[in-house]
């Protein structure tokens, strides 16, 4: 049997009024959006960190520093594509990805199919290998006050 590894990723971004909200590569209509150096896509950042961690390739900040202007405003789908290349260089392939987004609004359930399509295309896997779930924080804390958004991801990678 081939070698497998599991990775875990987490990301959090502040929400700012009248700022774009990109999640899973989808532009969500909302009064606030995630703010950061790139497009601040917390879902993709958590997935990237899970994949990098599983392959023992450090973290997203190591590869895509927020001090590097090359990454300013960039689509996180590009970051995911780069992470997949890093994995391939070490003979790893993605088995599956399971992610959770925690936010009060907007509701993302209608957008999950498009997110899965975007991630599958960027990662070179099938949509069946991607699970995206969402929950609220029951109006508690910074998430409940709609000041921020959090994403968690786990992944399985397999040696080619």
Q: At 153, which CATH number?
A: 3.30.1330.50
Domain that holds residue 43: 4-159
According to the model, what pLDDT value does residue 52 have?
98
* 95-152 residue pLDDT tens: 999 999 999 999 999 999 999 999 999 999 999 999 999 999 999 999 999 999 999 9
Q: Does residue 53 carry a pLDDT above 90?
A: yes
Q: Does residue 70 carry a pLDDT above 90?
A: no
Q: Tell me: is residue 65 an annotated ligand-binding position.
A: yes
Residue 135 backbone dihedrals phi, psi, to 5 degrees: -145, 165
- Of all residues in the chain, the percent with pLDDT exceeding 70 is 99
Q: How far apart are CA 30 and CA 105, in angstroms?
A: 8
Q: What is the rounded average pLDDT for all residues in the chain?
A: 96
Q: Specify the pTM.
A: 0.96
Largest CA distance in the chain: 51
User: Token pair 């359930």 is at which residue?
Assistant: 109
Q: Tell me: is residue 32 an annotated ligand-binding position.
A: no
Q: Tell me: is residue 17 an annotated ligand-binding position.
A: no
Structurally, how many domains does the chain consist of? 1
Q: Tell me: is residue 101 an annotated ligand-binding position.
A: no
CA 26 to chain centre: 12
Mean pLDDT of the 65-79 span: 91
Helices (DSSP H) in 58-159: which residue ranges? Answer: 60-63, 76-89, 112-123, 141-144
- Of all residues in the chain, the percent with pLDDT exceeding 90 is 93
Q: How far apart are CA 58 and CA 45, in angstroms?
A: 13
Q: Tell me: is residue 27 an annotated ligand-binding position.
A: no
Q: Tell me: is residue 126 an annotated ligand-binding position.
A: no
Q: Tell me: is residue 12 an annotated ligand-binding position.
A: yes
């Amino acid at each position: 049997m081939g070698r497998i590894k599991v990775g875990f990723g987490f990301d959090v971004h502040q929400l700012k009024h009248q700022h774009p909200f990109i999640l899973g590569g989808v532009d969500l209509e909302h009064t606030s959006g995630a703010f950061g150096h790139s497009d601040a896509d917390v879902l993709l950042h958590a997935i990237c960190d899970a994949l990098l961690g599983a392959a023992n390739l450090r973290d997203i900040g190591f590869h895509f520093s927020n001090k590097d202007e090359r990454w300013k405003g960039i689509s996180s789908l590009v970051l995911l594509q780069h992470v997949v290349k890093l994995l391939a260089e070490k003979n790893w392939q993605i088995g599956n990805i399971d992610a959770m987004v925690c936010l009060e609004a907007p509701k993302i359930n209608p957008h999950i199919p498009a997110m899965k399509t975007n991630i599958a295309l960027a990662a070179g896997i099938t949509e069946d290998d991607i699970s995206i779930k969402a929950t609220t924080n029951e109006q508690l804390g910074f998430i409940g006050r709609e000041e921020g958004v959090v994403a968690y991801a786990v992944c399985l990678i397999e040696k080619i």
